[in-house]
Amino acid sequence: MRTRGNSSVIFYKLAITPRYKAYSKTNSKHKCALIVDEHKLDNPAWNSLSETHQRHSIAYEAIQFYDPNYCAFGGATDTEIAAKGIEHYSKLVNRFFIIGKKPSLKKFLSLKNNLVCNQMILKTPIETELHENIVALHEKKQQQEVHELVNLVQPGYFRNKTVALGDYFGIYKGNTLVAVCGERMKMNAFTEISAIVTHPNHTRKGYAKQLIKHTTDKVFLENKIPYLHVLESNIHAISLYEKLGFIMRRKISFWEIELTS
Whole-number pLDDT of residue 3: 43
In a domain, 190, yes or no: yes
186 in any annotated domain: yes
Let me know if residue 166 belongs to a domain.
yes
> Is residue 13 classed exposed, middle or buried when 0-12, 13-18 and 19+ CB atoms within 10 A define those classes?
middle
Mean pLDDT per 10-residue section of the chain, whose length is 261 residues: 42 40 34 71 98 98 98 97 97 97 94 98 97 98 97 94 98 98 98 98 98 98 98 98 98 96 65
Residue 105 inside a domain? The answer is no
Provide the strand spans (E) within the chain: 2-3, 10-15, 31-36, 57-60, 63-66, 73-76, 95-99, 109-121, 134-136, 168-173, 176-186, 190-198, 225-231, 247-259
Strands 225-231, 190-198: pairing kind: parallel
- The C-alpha atoms of residue 57 and residue 40 are separated, in whole angstroms, by 17
Encode 172-182: b = buried (16+ Cβ within 10 Å), e = exposed.
Answer: beeeebbbbbb
247: helix, strand or coil: strand
Does some domain include residue 200?
yes
Spatial distance between the Cα atoms of 191 and 213, rounded to a whole number of angstroms: 14
CA distances from 232 to 11, 103, 248, 252 (A): 28, 21, 11, 10
Candidates 22, 29, 5, 193; CA nearest to 13 is 29
Q: Is residue 91 part of a domain?
A: no
pTM above 0.85, yes or no: yes
- Contact at 8 Å (CB) between 182 and 138? no
Looking at the structure of the chain, the number of domains it has is 1
Q: What is d(CA 188, CA 170) in angstroms, rounded to the nearest whole number? A: 25
Domain that holds residue 217: 120-249
Q: What CATH number is given to the structural domain containing 180?
A: 3.40.630.30
Question: Is residue 165 assigned to a domain?
Answer: yes
- Cα dihedral across residues 69, 75, 76, 81: positive or negative: positive
| Gap between the Cα atoms of 152 and 203, Å rounded | 14
- CA-to-CA distance for 207 and 130, rounded, in angstroms? 10
